[in-house]
Each structure stands twice: as structure tokens, then as C-alpha cells.
Chains A and B, each alone.
Chain A
Amino acid sequence: MSPEFDDLIGADVDPDERERLRRAHDALLVAGPPPELPQGLARPRANRQYARPALLAAAAVAVVAAFLGGWLVGGAGGEEPDFTLGMEGTTAAVAAHADLDVYPIDDAGNWPMKMHVSGLADGRYELVLTRNGKPIASCGFFLVHGSTLAWLNAPYKLRAYDGWAVTRPGSTRILLRTDQI
């Protein structure tokens, strides 16, 4: 269902400006939403030796290994994160990006996390674990003001989930997500 131009704009716009806005409105309808960016395109390659598919596959294996390694070495403690995942904005937040550092699990079963997020509108958000790409379990709320660093926690068995996402509290619309793992 396309939004009605007159409902969006209202009546109190002069004819020339109305025509300009109408063109932008029509352009948006024709263009449709931009696609979600795959993780492989989140960052430019560091040099002109662009990765071949085999290298991309190797990188994916490395991410999975790092993720699984979190359980194997969990509880070892230390200052360094067990693994770090990139999060990219969906079509609802195309400029958003986050890096999620997941630290070793503690004795009680908590996975402390540090998330550096940028490109989201100022406001309140929630980090959730996903299953089949759907938000399932909350890892806490955080406020964004510009580029923000937030500490969060996942008191869960991560094996039961396939990734993380950011939503608005009370909404299931995903704004940022990791690749499914």
C-alpha cells in the first residue's frame, strides 16, 4: 500500500513546492526500498586485491570459528573480547552500523557485551538475540546520542540463537542485525 501524497504533505504548501515534493514522492515510489547490505560489503577491502569467493568463504568460516570458540574458551576471563561481530543497518536504518564485542562468559552464565553503534537516530533501543532471524530474547536497552558506546549482557545459552539484532523497544522491526550464524 503506497502512502497518499496529500495525506503526507497536507494542504498548506504552495504549488511550486508541492510539485517538487510530488516529484520526490513519485521517485521514492518508483525506486522502492534499498536492499539490506550483506555483511561481505560492510567494509571496503583494504587494498586493491579484492577477495575472491574462496577467501570470503574462509572469512565466514573464521567468524563461525570465533563464535563457537566463545563457548570452548568461555570462562577463561581476560580483557579481550572472545569475538566481535559487525552489525549492518536494514532498509529501515540504512546508515546504521555497529560493532558488537562479546566478552568471555562469567561463572554465572553472563556474556558481557560492548556495542559501538553509529548512524541511528537518537533515542532508546533494544539489543535482542534472534532465532531464524526473529527477535527472541532481550539483551538490554540502551540510549543512542550520536555515536554511542553501550554495555549490555546476554544471560543466555548462545547456542539456542542465530544472531543479534537491534530494534526499538516493543517493536519487532529490525534496524540492525548481524549475519545469521
Chain B
Amino acid sequence: MEMELAIPAPGAAARLGSPAMKRDPDGELVVRIARGDRAAFEALYRRYVRSVYALALRRLGDPQSAEDAAQEAFAAVWRSARTYRPERGAAAPWLYSIARNAAVDRLRARMPLATVPESPDEGPGPENRAEHEWLRWRVHRALEELPVTEREVLALAYWGERSQSEIASELGIPLGTVKTRTRSGLARLAGLLEQEEEVR
């Protein structure tokens, strides 16, 4: 499904002129990792492992290769945290590029050289694909930040194909609570996506 998105793609904020840099908790973790802080590495890992794996899985299409690429991406984060410069931007795009490179490297390693497609790709262009990939990354990352109760309701509504009445019945909570959690979950998600734009 293609749809018009109101959320800027990577680099768009810089082109539009970002507001003053705000606090970036991910960036603070990367700075600590650069000093060899294992706890910071574990915290960053837990925040991002699912997004990194999801990106690799979409690129590679194979769970085992995606798992290996995710491992490689986090190994690269550990090795290259010292190269991260907070003044150049938030940590999320930096991590995204590392994850994408790990997946691309693995893809290249298994592709024969100089393969030429027999027919032109009629799918969305590279810019659109990159925009969607970036959005998926940010949404999956933001979902990790939602309270469990809100995430559970959103997951059932959006991917479990349940009506709100069915969700209420399955979770054993009033319909009004489902509606409240849905709305507050969407509001929190919107806030997280906006907040991430502001720190970039």
C-alpha cells in the first residue's frame, strides 16, 4: 500500500532547517558506548534490535541472513561508537545507516557481480523506498517506547485484525478502555515521531 506521508524522510529536516538541537537519549547512549560502557550498549541494543532486524529482514528476505546482519550492525556500533558526533545529528539516523550498510554488505556478498535486471523495476523509486524504509524504522523504534497496555491494543487493532469490541473481549477490559488506550497510544506515537524529527 502506498500513501502520501506527512513525515519527512532522512535529510528532509536538515534541508528545511532544523530547530535548535534537543536532548537525544540515544546519542547519550552512543557517547557512553564510545567510553566502553556495556550497560549503555545493552540499553541501545534493546531499544533498536527489533528495528535493525526488521530492516535487515526486509532487505535480505531471509531470517538467518537478517539475524547475522543485525549482529554485524551491533558489532559495528560497538566498534565505531567513537566516530559518532552528536553535533552532526541524532543517533537514530546514524544507527539506521549502520544497519542499512550491514544489510547491503551481506546482500552484496551473496549477489553475483554486475547483474543487470532483465526488465525495468516498476515498483516505487529508490527515494520512495528509502522514505518508507526510514518511516518503518522510526515507527518500530517508537513502538518500543509505548506502554505495554497501549502497544498491545494498537497491535491487535492494526495487525491482529480485531475490532475494538473483540479486543475488549480478548483482553478482558471495558470497550471504553480500549478506545482510551487506542487514542492515547496514537497520540504518544505521534509525539515520539515528532520529537525525533526535532532532535535531528
Interface residues of A, Cβ cutoff 8 Å to B: 1-3, 7-10, 13, 17, 20-21, 23-35, 37-38, 40-41, 44-45, 48, 50-51, 53, 91-96, 119-124, 168, 171, 173
User: Which residues of B24-54 have CB atoms within 8 Å of chain A's CB atoms?
Assistant: 41-42, 45-46, 49-51, 53-54
Chain B contacts for A48, CB-based, 8 A: 75, 78-79
Q: How far is the CB of A158 from chain B (nearest CB, A)?
A: 26
Distance, CA A17 to CA B49, complexed state (A): 31
Interface of B is mostly: helix
Chain A contacts for B50, CB-based, 8 A: 34-35, 37, 94
Distance, CA A49 to CA B111, complexed state (A): 27
Distance, CA A24 to CA B5, complexed state (A): 10
Sample of 17 more A-B contacts, CB < 8 Å, known A30-B3, A35-B53, A93-B148: A9-B182, A21-B186, A27-B7, A27-B135, A30-B135, A32-B159, A33-B159, A34-B51, A40-B67, A41-B67, A44-B41, A45-B74, A92-B152, A92-B155, A94-B155, A96-B148, A121-B152
Partner of A29, one of B1, B7, B51, B179: B1
Q: How far is the CB of B170 from chain A (nearest CB, A)?
A: 6
Q: Are B57 and A35 in contact (CB under 8 A)?
A: yes
Chain A proximity mask over B1-28: 1 for CB below 8 Å, otherwise 0: 1010111000000000000000000000
Closest to A13 in B: B183
Chain A contacts for B164, CB-based, 8 A: 7-8
Chain A contacts for B159, CB-based, 8 A: 32-33, 91-92
Chain B contacts for A26, CB-based, 8 A: 3, 5-6
Q: Are A93 and B152 in contact (CB under 8 A)?
A: yes
Distance, CA A64 to CA B54, complexed state (A): 27
Q: List 28 A-B contacts (CB under 8 A).
A: A8-B157, A8-B179, A17-B187, A20-B187, A20-B190, A21-B186, A21-B187, A23-B6, A23-B7, A24-B190, A27-B138, A27-B139, A28-B154, A28-B186, A31-B139, A32-B159, A33-B158, A34-B143, A37-B50, A38-B67, A50-B74, A91-B155, A92-B159, A119-B148, A123-B171, A123-B172, A168-B171, A173-B170
User: Which residues of B44-81 have CB atoms within 8 Å of chain A's CB atoms?
Assistant: 45-46, 49-51, 53-54, 57, 63, 67-68, 70-72, 74-75, 78-79
Number of contact residues on B: which range applies?
35 or more
Q: Are B187 and A3 in contact (CB under 8 A)?
A: no
Chain A proximity mask over B151-189: 1 for CB below 8 Å, otherwise 0: 110111111110010000011100000010011001101
Q: Are A10 and B67 in contact (CB under 8 A)?
A: no
Interface residues of B, Cβ cutoff 8 Å to A: 1, 3, 5-7, 41-42, 45-46, 49-51, 53-54, 57, 63, 67-68, 70-72, 74-75, 78-79, 132, 135-136, 138-140, 143-144, 148-149, 151-152, 154-161, 164, 170-172, 179, 182-183, 186-187, 189-190, 193-194
Chain A contacts for B72, CB-based, 8 A: 50
Q: How far is the CB of A121 from chain B (nearest CB, A)?
A: 5
Chain B contacts for A8, CB-based, 8 A: 157, 164, 179, 182-183, 186
Q: Are B42 and A44 in contact (CB under 8 A)?
A: yes
Closest to A42 in B: B49
9 closest cross-chain pairs (CB), A and B: A31-B139, A44-B45, A24-B190, A33-B159, A50-B75, A24-B189, A20-B190, A31-B136, A24-B186
